[in-house]
């Protein structure tokens, strides 16, 4: 039986601003789209927090037994410097400054993103489409919107008519902004006089002489507006209406608001049932952002080569740190917070490791494993509440420490359930890597091999007292030596 049939998952929907019972469009299947990186520079830890949050969501949906199609795009064209409709393409600008081809920039930072994602134990998405790979589809969507009378062309550029859309729809349904707010907050930039209204946004932009990245279209040689690619790729791979759309809180307006307007106009239906937004990561009390220079790269944390932290931290600790906060909460990054997370991470891993040495008892368990297991699921079913989940995991850690000290007992069936549940939540759902546990195991084996060698030397020297002492001390630690014709082997109980 699929776990989703016995778990009622509730998701906070940014559209309704409330938690809603999750009911997918197609029973047993989930379509999820997440706005991916613009590959013009290295991803910083704030970016990684967003993608890690949705990696956790993806993992839990899979754990529940859903068949998930997870689409996360790569923006490799059309994202202008100021997130508005003017300025230079971020990728093209980087290419111009470094005197290389734009696609060299794209390749370099796409590889960097994938490398970082692998180190932080992200599951790859089902599909990872690119903006440049869907230019034809973007042009076709612009045509449909124009045919319906919600877009207009001026001097080779095409703009979405927000005021006309708002006559019968609600531009601001996601962000809560009114048209008046949009007008007030719209920056007046050179070249925006082409628009009928300041809050209108570009579907297609005519490329000026300096713009390297351009494609032919019915209106001009140009490039698609930044908001268009996500509407095109989400509908192509997930349908006109799909289940979950995710991204950072900063994308709610204007990016996601524009997506809704485009998609609704084109397909005559609401594009997404559940909008999810991950909150920001702070550094020194300020938003982490490349534009301000207030950021740290994920790789710098692993190497320790940065001006913020006094030492390196492994990826599991960083992931544990991020999972200790709810994805919708602001999280402040600091050395003190990472050190505290490192202690917690090590305690959790040590406890899980110790479970392999626990011997079941015929006595009744001193811990209600089934009730505890349900509390873990209840936490995740409550809008993916990882901090509450982690609190429950440490209830199990406390019990395991009691088992180690022989203060409590556990039945064979409960021991099996405890192991499977911890394994599922720690590794499958939270995505904490057991690589560090394996490294520790390798170190232990190395130490035992060294002691076996010293014991052999003692035996060769007829120092039976030392030989027996090494054997007995190891046995007391749960490591049993077995002497044979081909040498000494050992088992860890």
Q: Which of 409, 433, 457 is the last residue of a domain?
A: 433
Q: What is the pLDDT of residue 78?
A: 75
Same domain, 319 and 343: yes
CB 205 within 8 A of CB 219: no
Please check whether residues 198 and 318 belong to one and the same domain: no
Give yes or no: residues 271 and 290 share one domain. Answer: no
Q: Which of 384, 410, 433 is the last residue of a domain?
A: 433
**Which pair of structure tokens corresponds to residue 39?**
């590959």
23 & 102 share domain: yes
Chosen domain end from 214, 245, 278? 278
Examine the domain organization and report whether 264 and 359 are in the same domain.
no
Q: Domain count of the chain?
A: 3
Domain that holds residue 338: 283-433
CATH code of the domain in which 396 resides: 1.10.730.10
Query: How far apart (Å, rounded) are the C-alpha atoms in residues 44 and 266?
Result: 35
- 217 and 199 inside one domain: yes
Q: What is the model's pLDDT at position 189?
A: 41
Give the pLDDT of residue 491.
65
Examine the domain organization and report whether 226 and 364 are in the same domain.
no
pLDDT tens over the chain, length 493 residues: 699 999 999 999 999 999 999 999 999 999 999 999 999 999 999 999 999 999 999 999 999 999 999 999 999 987 876 655 667 888 988 988 899 999 999 999 999 999 999 999 999 999 999 999 999 999 999 999 999 999 999 999 999 999 999 999 999 999 999 887 666 555 444 444 689 999 999 999 999 888 889 999 999 999 999 999 999 999 999 999 999 999 999 999 999 999 999 999 999 999 999 999 999 999 988 888 877 888 999 999 999 999 899 999 999 999 999 999 999 999 999 999 999 999 999 999 999 999 999 999 888 888 999 999 999 999 999 999 999 999 999 999 999 999 988 899 999 999 999 999 999 999 999 999 875 544 555 567 778 888 888 888 888 888 888 888 888 888 877 788 888 766 887 766 5
What local confidence, expressed as pLDDT, does residue 85 receive?
66
CB contact set of 403 (below 8 Å; sequence gap of 6+): 354, 358, 409, 410
What is the pLDDT at residue 288? Answer: 86
- Do 352 and 226 share a structural domain? no
Q: Does 184 share its domain with 319?
A: no
Contact 73, 130 (CB under 8 A): yes
**Is there a single domain that holds both residue 382 and residue 450?**
no
Task: Give me the CATH number covering residue 37.
Answer: 3.40.50.620
**Claim to verify: residue 72 and residue 197 sit in the same structural domain:** yes
Give residue 408's pLDDT.
93
Q: Is the same domain home to 207 and 185?
A: yes
Predicted structure pTM score = 0.86
């Amino acid at each position: 039986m699929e776990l989703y049939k016995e778990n009622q998952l509730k998701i906070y929907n940014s559209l309704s601003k409330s938690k809603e019972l999750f009911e997918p469009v197609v029973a047993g299947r989930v379509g999820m789209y997440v706005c991916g990186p613009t590959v013009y520079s290295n991803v910083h830890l704030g970016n990684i927090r967003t993608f890690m949050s949705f990696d956790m969501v993806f993992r839990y949906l899979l754990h529940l037994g859903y068949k998930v199609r997870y689409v996360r795009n790569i923006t490799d064209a059309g994202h202008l410097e100021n997130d508005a409709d003017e300025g230079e393409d971020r990728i093209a600008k980087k290419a111009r400054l470094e005197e290389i081809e734009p696609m060299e920039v794209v390749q370099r930072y796409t590889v960097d993103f994938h490398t970082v994602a692998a180190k932080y134990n992200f599951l790859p998405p089902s599909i990872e489409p690119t903006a440049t790979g869907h230019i034809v589809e973007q042009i076709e969507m612009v045509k449909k919107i124009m045919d319906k009378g919600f877009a207009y062309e001026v001097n080779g550029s095409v703009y979405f008519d927000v005021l006309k859309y708002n006559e019968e729809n609600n531009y601001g349904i996601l962000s809560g902004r009114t048209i008046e707010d949009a007008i007030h907050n719209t920056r007046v930039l050179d070249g925006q006089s082409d628009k009928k209204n300041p809050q209108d946004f570009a579907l297609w932009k005519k490329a000026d002489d300096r713009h390297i990245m351009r494609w032919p279209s019915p209106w001009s040689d140009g490039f698609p507006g930044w908001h268009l690619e996500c509407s095109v790729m989400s509908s192509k791979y997930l349908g006109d209406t799909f289940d979950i759309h995710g991204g950072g809180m900063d994308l709610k307006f204007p990016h996601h608001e524009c997506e809704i307007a485009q998609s609704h106009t084109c397909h005559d239906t609401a594009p997404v049932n559940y909008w999810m937004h991950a909150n920001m990561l702070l550094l020194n009390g300020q938003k982490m952002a490349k534009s301000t220079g207030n950021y740290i790269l994920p790789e710098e944390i692993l190497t320790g080569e940065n001006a913020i932290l006094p030492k390196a931290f492994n990826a599991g600790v960083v992931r544990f740190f991020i999972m200790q906060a709810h994805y919708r909460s602001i999280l402040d990054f600091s050395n003190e917070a990472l050190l505290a997370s490192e202690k917690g991470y090590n305690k959790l891993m040590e406890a899980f490791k110790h479970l392999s040495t626990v011997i079941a008892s015929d006595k009744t368990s001193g811990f209600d494993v089934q009730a505890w297991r349900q509390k873990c699921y209840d936490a995740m079913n409550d809008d993916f509440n990882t901090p509450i989940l982690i609190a429950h995991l440490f209830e199990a850690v406390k019990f395991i420490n009691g088992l180690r000290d022989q203060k409590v007992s556990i039945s064979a069936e409960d021991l099996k359930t405890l192991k499977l549940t911890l394994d599922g939540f720690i590794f499958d759902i939270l995505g904490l890597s057991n690589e560090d546990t394996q490294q520790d195991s390798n170190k232990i084996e190395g130490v035992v091999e060294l002691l076996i060698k010293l014991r052999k030397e003692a035996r060769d020297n007829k120092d039976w007292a030392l030989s027996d002492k090494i054997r007995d001390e190891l046995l007391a630690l749960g490591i049993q030596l077995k002497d044979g014709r081909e040498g000494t082997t050992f088992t860890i109980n």
